């Protein structure tokens, strides 16, 4: 299952972050802002519990989140989305997964995994700005499930049908939230029109 967030504020910020003239400082800010909107939607049905809160006037029946939230960026570009979720859910814990592509098999291989114990039983939010071929995302979900994760949500800024199809076929139980489903992948497996290299644009490492 995938959801494209068409809210005008999201689409406005998406237009700004796509712009080749947007520098790395503003790109990071926009990635944070878009991520907050996407996370807001992704957590719409998260488990809550009713609590009594004493206001200055009376007892109010309120609701608080009743599950551990673990945010897992895919290194390195996923780190650029982390702040947006932590601003929305400051108590969230953070894990990391690093992947590289084997030159012979062309398959993603995990080189770094670090998760808090709350992965098992909590809600894991896997973040990466670009869900292109879907290979890295599917592999990261494999890693999380192996670590005990049962509830996983993927948040990306931009994706395409090819990547969505691969992830949904491999993990039909994992919903994907995005700001845009773009046209296609080019011959170099970049999303078109996309954002360019999100990692380079986030961290100012473009040549």
Task: For residue 200, indicate whether it is catalytic.
Answer: yes
Task: For residue 105, indicate whether it is catalytic.
Answer: yes
Give the active site residue among 26, 76, 142, 200.
200
User: Is there a contact between 4 and 159 (Cβ–Cβ < 8 Å)?
Assistant: no
- Residue 35: pLDDT above 70? yes
pLDDT digits (tens, 9 = 90+) for 131-190: 999 999 999 999 999 999 989 999 999 999 999 999 999 999 999 999 999 999 998 888
Q: Hey, what CATH class is 2-203 in?
A: alpha beta
- Which pLDDT does position 160 carry in this prediction? 95
Residue 205's pLDDT band, with cuts at 50, 70 and 90, is: confident
- Which pLDDT does position 150 carry in this prediction? 86
**Sequence-ordered list of residues with C-beta below 8 angstroms from that of 53, at least 6 positions apart, any chain:** 59, 60, 62
Distance separating alpha carbons of residues 11 and 77, to the nearest angstrom: 21
Selected residue with higher pLDDT from 10 and 102: 10
- Exposed (0-12), middle (13-18) or buried (19+): which is 67, by Cβ within 10 Å? middle
- Residue 73: pLDDT above 80? yes
Mean pLDDT of the chain: 93
Which tokens hold the place of 148? Answer: 């005990």
Give the active site residue among 26, 67, 76, 101.
101
- Residue 55: pLDDT above 90? yes
pLDDT digits (tens, 9 = 90+) for 89-129: 999 999 999 988 777 776 788 899 999 999 998 999 999 99
- Residue 81: pLDDT above 70? yes
171 has which bridge partners?
none
Residue 12's pLDDT band, with cuts at 50, 70 and 90, is: very high
Give the active site residue among 105, 173, 182, 205.
105
Helix (H) or strand (E) holding 124: strand 123-127
Task: For residue 197, indicate whether it is catalytic.
Answer: yes
- Residue 207: pLDDT above 60? no
Q: How is the chain split into domains, by residue range?
A: 2-203
pTM of the model as a whole? 0.92
Give the active site residue among 26, 67, 142, 197.
197
Task: For residue 26, indicate whether it is catalytic.
Answer: no
């Amino acid at each position: 299952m995938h959801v494209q967030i068409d809210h005008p504020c999201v689409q406005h910020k998406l237009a700004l972050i796509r712009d080749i003239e947007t520098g790395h400082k503003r790109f990071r800010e926009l990635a944070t802002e878009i991520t907050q909107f996407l996370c807001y939607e992704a957590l719409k049905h998260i488990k809550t519990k009713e609590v009594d809160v004493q206001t200055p006037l009376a007892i109010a029946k309120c609701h608080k989140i009743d599950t551990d939230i673990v945010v897992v960026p895919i290194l390195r570009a996923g780190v650029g989305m982390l702040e947006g979720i932590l601003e929305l859910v400051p108590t969230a814990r953070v894990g990391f997964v690093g992947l590289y592509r084997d030159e012979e098999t062309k398959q993603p291989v995990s080189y770094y995994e670090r998760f808090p114990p709350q992965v098992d039983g909590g809600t894991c939010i896997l973040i990466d700005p670009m869900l292109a071929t879907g290979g890295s995302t599917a592999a990261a979900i494999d890693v999380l499930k192996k670590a005990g994760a049962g509830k996983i949500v993927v948040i990306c800024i931009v994706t395409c049908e090819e990547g969505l199809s691969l992830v949904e076929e491999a993990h039909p139980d994992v919903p994907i939230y995005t700001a845009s489903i773009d046209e296609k992948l080019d011959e170099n497996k970049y999303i078109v029109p996309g954002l360019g290299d999100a990692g380079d644009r986030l961290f100012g490492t473009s040549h």
